[in-house]
Amino acid sequence: MPSPEQTPGSRGFIIPIGGAEDKISDRLILRRFISLCGGAEARLAVIPTASELDSTGDRYREIFGNLGVRHVDVLDIRERADAEKPEHVEALNRATGIFMTGGNQLRLSTILGGTAVAQTMRRVNARGTHVAGTSAGAAFVSEHMIAFGREGATPIAGQATLCAGLGLTNRVIVDQHFRERDRLGRLLTSLAYNPFAIGLGLDEDTAAFIGPDNVIEVAGAGAITIADVSDLAYSGMASVREGRPVQLIGVKLHILSDGATFRLDSREAKPGLRD
3-state secondary structure at position 109:
helix
Active site residues: 135, 177, 204
β-pairing, 14-17 vs 130-134, is parallel
Q: Whats the size of the chain, residue-wise?
A: 275
CB-based contacts of 258: which residues, under 8 Å, 6+ apart?
218, 219, 220, 221, 272, 274
Distance CA 152, CA 156 (A): 9
Q: How many CB atoms lie within 10 A of CB 1?
A: 8
Residue 187 · residue 145 · CB < 8 Å: no
Q: At what angle do helices 105-112 and 116-126 cross, to 10 degrees?
A: 100
The strand pairing partners of 206, in sequence order, are 220
Residue type (1 letter), 62: E
Half-sphere CA count of 225, side-chain side, radius 13 A: 21
